[in-house]
């Protein structure tokens, strides 16, 4: 797969990224019933992902065992991949808890770095609870993320939201945006292009509409946009990821 650059960050990512939620959490997800893999299966999956040429691994504190498993398996391979995690949400006792205060964000990142067994991540995204503008206007999120970037805890900062107007406002400060975009929801197509024009990297989430779309059509649709840096896909099957990578390569040669 031909790498793509995330805006002005200079970070090169594979056009297919690995979303790790299924590797660590199976409660209250949008993917139906599934079993969390064993430690050995998780290790095989992560190493297999790297061997396929996927270099973007996306995780979050709210993804259960995900961060710890990535740290346990890939800490010795840190230079081989781009690591993205999030702040704002924790999943405890079957419920999501949100806190975007400066203290909570700093604590969350410190805990993530410990679990991931690294001294920095490449990308930190705010994990919105859906009230995007409230987070931006009424918390210290932006200033705190900028401070963590200045300290070298991350190379890039950004937002994963749900409201297009608020997402547009984030282009003033974000290095990277995670944006929903797929064949059944193209409303953010112009926003993705605008972000790219302003030097903001774009990661696409839900490009397969949480598993409801056919990969052979959905992947090509998303990656046909040169403004997209990477399409982050969740899953537990290396066979499926190999096919996703094949589709991404095929699209690049069209």
Note the pTM of the prediction, 2 decimals. Answer: 0.96
Domains and CATH numbers, the chain: 4-252 (3.20.20.100)
Residues 41-60 have pLDDT tens digits of 999 999 999 999 999 999 99
Q: Name the nearest CA neighbour of 123 among 228, 3, 10.
A: 10
pLDDT at 252: 79
**Percent of the chain whose pLDDT exceeds 70:** 100
Please check the confidence at residue 32 and state whether its pLDDT lies above 80. no
Residues 161-176 have pLDDT tens digits of 999 999 999 999 999 9
DSSP string, the chain: ---EE-GGG--EE-SEEEE-GGGT--SS-SS-S-PPPPHHHHHHHHHHHHHTT--EEE--GGGTTHHHHHHHHHGGGGGGSEEEEEESEEEETTEEEE--SHHHHHHHHHHHHHHHTSS-EEEEEEE--S-HHHHHHHSSHHHHHHHHHHTTSEEEEEEE-S-HHHHHHGGGT-SEEEEE-BTTB-TTHHHHHHHHHTT-EEEEESTTTTTTS-HHHHHHHHHT-TT--EEEEE-S-HHHHHHHHHHHHHHHT-
Residues 252 and 237: their CA atoms lie apart, in Å, by 23
- Given pLDDT bands bounded at 50, 70 and 90, which one contains residue 77? very high
Residues 115-149 have pLDDT tens digits of 999 999 999 999 999 999 999 999 999 999 999 99
Q: How crowded is the C-beta side of 216, counted as CA atoms within 13 Å?
A: 0
- Given pLDDT bands bounded at 50, 70 and 90, which one contains residue 241? very high
Q: How crowded is the C-beta side of 87, counted as CA atoms within 13 Å?
A: 32
């Amino acid at each position: 797969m031909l790498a793509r650059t995330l805006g002005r960050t200079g970070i090169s990512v594979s056009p297919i990224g690995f979303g790790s939620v299924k590797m660590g959490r199976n409660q209250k997800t949008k993917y139906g019933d599934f079993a969390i893999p064993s430690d050995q299966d998780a290790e095989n999956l992560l190493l297999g992902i790297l061997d396929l040429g996927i270099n973007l691994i996306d995780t979050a504190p709210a993804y259960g065992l995900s961060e710890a498993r990535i740290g346990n398996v890939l800490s010795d391979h840190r230079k081989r991949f781009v690591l993205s995690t999030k702040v704002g949400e924790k999943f405890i006792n079957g419920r999501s808890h949100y806190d975007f205060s400066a203290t909570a964000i700093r604590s969350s990142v410190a805990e993530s770095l410990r679990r991931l067994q690294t001294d920095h991540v490449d990308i930190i995204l705010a994990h919105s609870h859906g009230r995007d503008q409230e987070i931006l206007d009424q918390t210290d999120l932006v200033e705190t993320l900028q401070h963590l970037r200045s300290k070298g805890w991350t190379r890039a900062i950004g937002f994963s939201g749900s409201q297009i107007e608020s997402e547009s406002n984030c282009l003033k400060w974000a290095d990277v945006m995670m944006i929903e975009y797929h064949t059944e929801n193209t409303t953010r197509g112009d926003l993705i292009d605008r972000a790219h024009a302003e030097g903001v990297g774009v990661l696409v989430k839900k490009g397969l509409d949480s598993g409801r779309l056919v990969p052979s059509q959905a992947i090509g649709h998303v990656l046909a946009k040169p403004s997209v840096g990477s399409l982050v896909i969740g899953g537990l099957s290396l066979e499926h990821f190999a096919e996703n990578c094949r589709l991404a390569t095929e699209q690049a040669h069209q």
